[in-house]
Amino acid sequence: MQKARSRLADQPEPERVAGPVWWKKYIRTAPFGLLGVISIAALLYILTKIPPAQIADMPLPNTYGPFLLASFFTSFCVLGYLLQSARKGLFIALILTLLLFLHLQHVFIGKYDLV
């Protein structure tokens, strides 16, 4: 009885293919980054052109709704683009917006300011 010849020994070694270039994944999600840049511009417009007293009571008293919404959307888009994960960007954006809201409401824990 003859032994089977190895089929692996006759094949040439495959060429090493370089891994994906790091910036290609950012090009794939460029629209998300573009939304981030546009929302940064909207947030800067709110911070520089609109007086705080004008948006302080929208939609509820002392909530600064448009500012919180713009800061949430900005942090979501920018972090989602930088981290390449919409879920992680959403989670961190929610935490940052909650901390900003608590800071605007002057929430204190014990003798220390929360934010």
Q: Which tokens belong to 80?
A: 């989602």
**106: three-class secondary structure by DSSP:** coil
Specify whether the CB–CB gap between 52 and 64 falls below 8 A. yes
Q: What is d(CA 41, CA 34) in angstroms, rounded to the nearest whole number?
A: 11
Give pLDDT tens digits for 2-21: 666 665 555 666 677 666 67
The average pLDDT across 38-62 equals: 92
Give pLDDT tens digits for 67-107: 999 999 999 999 999 999 999 999 999 999 998 998 888 88
Q: What is d(CA 81, CA 78) in angstroms, rounded to the nearest whole number?
A: 5
Whole-model pTM?
0.74
Chain mean position to CA 19: 25
